[in-house]
Amino acid sequence: MSKYKIFAKELLAKMTLEEKVAQLSQTVAGYRCYTRSGEEFEFSDEFKDFINTYGAMGAISNILRSCAWTQKDWGIGIEPKHRAKVANQLQKYVMDNTRLQIPVLIEVESNHGLQALGSEMFPTNIGMGSTFNPNLYKEIMKTVGKETKLSGNHMNFITMLDMARDPRWGRVEEFFSEDPYLASEYAKNAVEGVKSENVLACCKHFCATGDCFGGLNTAEVNIGKREMHDIYLSVADKAVKAGADVVMVAYNSVDGIPCHANSYLLRNVLRDELGFDGIALSDGWGVERMIKQMGYDNLSGSVLALKSGIDLSLADNGVYLNLIEAVKNNLVDIEYIDEAVTRILTKKYELNLFDNPYVEENGELEAYLDSGIQKKLSYQAASESMVLTKNNSALPVSAKSKVALIGENADNLYYLLGSYTSLRKKGEGKTVYEAFKDKLDVVEYTKGWSYDGSEDDFENAVNMAKNADVIVVTLGGNSSPSICKTEFDKNTGAAVSVSGFMDCGEGLDTASISLPGNQLELLRRLRELDKPVISVLIQGRPYIISEVEELSDGVLIAWYPGQQGADAIADILTGKVNPSGKLSVSIPYSDCCLPCYYNRIGEDTPENPFDGCCTNTYTDCHKRVLHPFGYGLSYSRFEYKNLSVKETGKNRFTVEAEVSNVSDVGGYEVAQLYIRGYKNTIRRRGKELKGFSKVYIKPGETEKVTFTLGYDEFKIYSAAEKYFVEDGEVEIMVGSNPDLPLKAFIHTSYQDDE
């Protein structure tokens, strides 16, 4: 038992039932707990009443949260110069008005930067995954952790545990990849990066949200134990082993059981199998939502959630406060309460909050935000995240070319930022049009197409394009409510209606993933001009872009590239930056081919085709995938040769290959290693990513890439419901998917543990 847990248990013995339960119920939302008058802040009666009634507060979420939903804008919310002051003021109120003076944990949304005024907005996770550079992500998350600490906050909410398995789902932008190996590397680096600054890493969401039925948010997930273990738990396992402090539980049900009431998932799997010893946190209103779904009253429902394994209930409208009555009426054993409170207190001791609950108010945060460190990393991430999927020698374009820039989303910063974005003030990032004006000699802009289908600007766009050397069209969607008109409930502050176009984000799922509005109609008109057409997709999900590629000479998928994304787009198109991104998700050929991900069980391949009546495609749509996971072009050209496989121990191999740059342009290449298993007792996936290496190669030079394979890479979750390596054959493939020219076979032998 750690010394911190010993301290926690000693403190627990001094606590009343009310003080204990107050540690578990996050009734008060941070963004509702204060008002600002000039440079001064006052806490709400709701906040004060909770402290005075229960004598403690375990945690509070998002005092810094700025967005269209909270309406905390500049002049109204907590600006960087206020963060330390308000955090200290909050802690002091808790300490001065409670018997045991237990400090409160302050949480903040950090999906791609702090959702706070003045914070850098990095590319959303689907773009981060396309960098194939988890080390860069670790550096970013170190800066996020440092910013959090300097702000007097203690816990980062980070989406990392789910797979982007269905592009209809509105939250695809929040997840790194469809592939568990790639996603697990990012999860590991996220946790390590944040924790290096003595900040708690909260990992969202557990479990399997990405396989929601029909791509519908929070819908039922119908997967078996093998799919859960092979895909979803492999990511959670990496996060836990990296030191995850908190795991946020998902809204969805798995096989009919809501995650918030799933003791098998939260106790048997998360605790026993994965060895997690931190805090299990509900998602916002998750316990209350489960209670309503299952038809319980608040008293019995809160007991069910606690016994199932929910330690801390986020934004629960006081539902968990029913646990006081439940204990008094012998509906739940106090041991369940003590178990949960101990975990929370332990984390507070680990942070040294009891000895030092306050943060210095010395301007260090403002200096750090102004230092340019985050901006530099944000630009690098944006540059490496963009994926070139087509280039008919149209790219790069000369900065001296006369460029016609067209697209409704090219002249508003928010279109670049994605969801979970804080409100911006002027100068916090450029639009695509502003970046083009800075970097191109001659550029004209008009919106052309419209999300609402208006063709009012079509002729203007066509006439402008007639006089241009190159036409650049920005396409895509939107998940930022900040550019929409939003109406709010006066009492709760919740959004009750949104007018304006949004097709991505939480609760914004689409039956079709065709490009919205009249984007394709205008693109067809522009193609008729017989001029080079470059399409840039600014998006949070894969769209159907088969026709876009037919109509375009060059296609760049920019995702939601963040605050520095516009400069990165301009630099890639003009050749200042050589694109190096690889698709973190597959691009379907058609709406009819969903879901679409590469590592399915029984994936058909030319080397291993199905026989007879079993096919791997549809009779009316023979091409299922336009571009597969791992695909991406460069201005350089690379060749692979000299594969070497060396056995170094039982089920341990070192794999080496040479990658040559056979062009006159230096660039990064992402060498990828896949395996395919044969002669097993289960049906293996078509191929599985098990290694990658991003290397810069100068023109005409060759670099060696090295991979290691071992127990973790070869193990499978068997019909016996355990992991082991089987006797069998494994094909090793190295290259850049789908071109994997280097291949070799090895033999694995039975091994049930390391």
Token pair, residue 125, equals 């996770």
Query: Which of the pair, 494 or 404, is modelled with greater confidence?
Result: 404
Condensed to tens digits (0 to 9), the pLDDT of residues 288-302 reads: 999 999 999 999 999
pLDDT in tens, 124-181: 999 999 999 999 999 999 999 999 999 999 999 999 999 999 999 999 999 999 999 9
DSSP classification of residue 273: I
Which one of 537, 554, 578 terminates a domain? 578
- The answer to whether 671 and 705 have CB atoms below 8 angstroms apart is yes
CATH code (residue 86): 3.20.20.300
| pLDDT score, position 609 | 43
Place of tokens 């516009």: 566
pLDDT (0 to 100) of residue 614: 45
Same domain, 563 and 646: no
* Residue 202, preceding peptide bond in cis (omega within 30° of 0): no
Does 613 reside within a domain? no
Measured between alpha carbons, how far is 148 from 163 in angstroms, rounded to an integer? Answer: 26
- What is the torsion angle, in degrees rounded to the nearest 10, for the CA atoms of residue 464, residue 470, residue 471 and residue 474? -130
How confident is the model over 44-68, as a mean pLDDT? 96
Both 113 and 219 in a single domain? yes
Return the C-alpha torsion angle 218, 187, 281, 262, nearest 10.
60
Domain boundary among 578, 598, 618: 578
339 and 410, same domain (yes or no)? no
CATH number, residue 554: 3.40.50.1700
| Lowest-confidence region among 364-378, 415-429, 604-618, 646-660 | 604-618
Helix (H) or strand (E) run with residue 551 in it: helix 546-551
* 356 and 487 in a common domain: no
Residue 612 confidence class, pLDDT cut points 50, 70, 90: very low
Lowest mean pLDDT among 18-27, 390-399, 497-506: 497-506
In angstroms, the first-to-last Cα distance of the chain is 25
Tell me if 614 is assigned to some domain.
no
Instruction: Give the end of a domain, one of 334, 366, 398.
Output: 366
| Cα distance between residue 112 and residue 588, in whole Å | 26
For residue 408, pLDDT over 60 is answered with yes
The rounded distance, in Å, linking the Cα atoms of 727 and 680 is 7
Q: So what's the pLDDT on residue 126?
A: 98
Whether 519 maps to a domain, the answer reads yes
Cα torsion through 38, 43, 46, 50, rounded to 10: 170
Residues 574 and 664 in one domain: no
Percentages (nearest 5) of helix, strand, coil residues in the chain: 35, 25, 45
Residue 440, domain member (yes or no): yes
Q: Which domain holds residue 738?
A: 638-748
Q: Is residue 103 part of a domain?
A: yes
CATH number at residue 644: 2.60.40.10
- Decide if pLDDT at 729 tops 80: yes
Do 653 and 689 share a domain, yes or no?
yes
Virtual torsion, Cα 459, 464, 465, 468, nearest 10 deg = 170
Tell me the β-bridge partners of 677. 730
| Same domain, residue pair 343 and 399 | no
The arithmetic mean of pLDDT across residues 621-633, rounded, is: 91
- The kind and range of the H/E element at 607 are none
pLDDT value of residue 608:
45
What token pair was written down for 284? 């916002």
Residues 351 and 438 in one domain: no
Within 8 A by CB and 6+ apart from 622, the residues are: none
Instruction: Decide: helix, strand or coil at residue 110.
Output: coil
- Residues 15-39, mean pLDDT to the nearest whole number: 96
Same domain, 328 and 426: no
C-beta separation of 643 from 742 below 8 A: yes
Is residue 622, in this structure, part of any structural domain at all? no
pLDDT at residue 496, as a whole number: 57
Coil vs helix vs strand at 11: helix
* Residue whose C-alpha is closest to residue 204's, from 171, 150, 160, 246: 160
Q: Omega of the bond prior to 588 within 30 degrees of 0, cis?
A: no
134-150 and 180-195 helices cross at what angle (nearest 10)?
30
pLDDT digits (tens, 9 = 90+) for 708-722: 999 999 999 888 888
How many domains does the structure of the chain reveal?
A: 3
Asked if residues 581 and 381 have their Cβ atoms less than 8 Å apart, the reply is no
| Max Cα–Cα distance, the chain, nearest Å | 80
Same-domain status, 554 and 491: yes
Average pLDDT, the chain: 94
pLDDT tens digit sequence for 317-350: 999 999 999 999 999 999 999 999 999 999 999 9
Task: Give whole-number Cα distances, 718 to 38, 668, 682, 752, in Å.
Answer: 62, 38, 7, 11
544 in any annotated domain: yes
Q: What is the pLDDT of residue 680?
A: 81
3-state secondary structure 379-390: HHHHHHHCEEEE
- CB neighbours of 309 closer than 8 A, spacing ≥ 6? 262, 263, 265, 266, 267, 270, 271, 280
Residues 670, 580 contacting (CB under 8 angstroms): yes
Show the tokens assigned to 711: 């127990």
Domain annotation covers residue 585: no
Given a cut of 50, whether residue 268 has pLDDT beyond it is yes
pLDDT at 482: 86
In a shared domain, residues 181 and 276: yes
Residue 213 corresponds to which amino acid? F
Is residue 513 pLDDT above 90, yes or no? yes
Dihedral, CA of residue 238, residue 239, residue 244 and residue 249, to nearest 10: -120
Please indicate, yes or no, whether residues 294 and 405 belong to a single structural domain of this protein. Answer: no
CB environment 324-351: b (16+ within 10 A), e (fewer): bbbbeeeebeeebbbebbbbbbbbbbbb
Please state whether the peptide bond connecting residue 579 to the residue before it is cis, i.e. omega within 30 degrees of 0.
no
E-strand stretches of 71-199: 105-109, 155-159
pLDDT of residue 606: 43
Q: How large is the average pLDDT for residues 460-467? A: 97
Is residue 211 within 8 A of residue 161, CB to CB? The reply is no
Question: What percent of the chain lies above the pLDDT cut of 70?
Answer: 96
Overall average pLDDT of the 590-613 stretch? 64
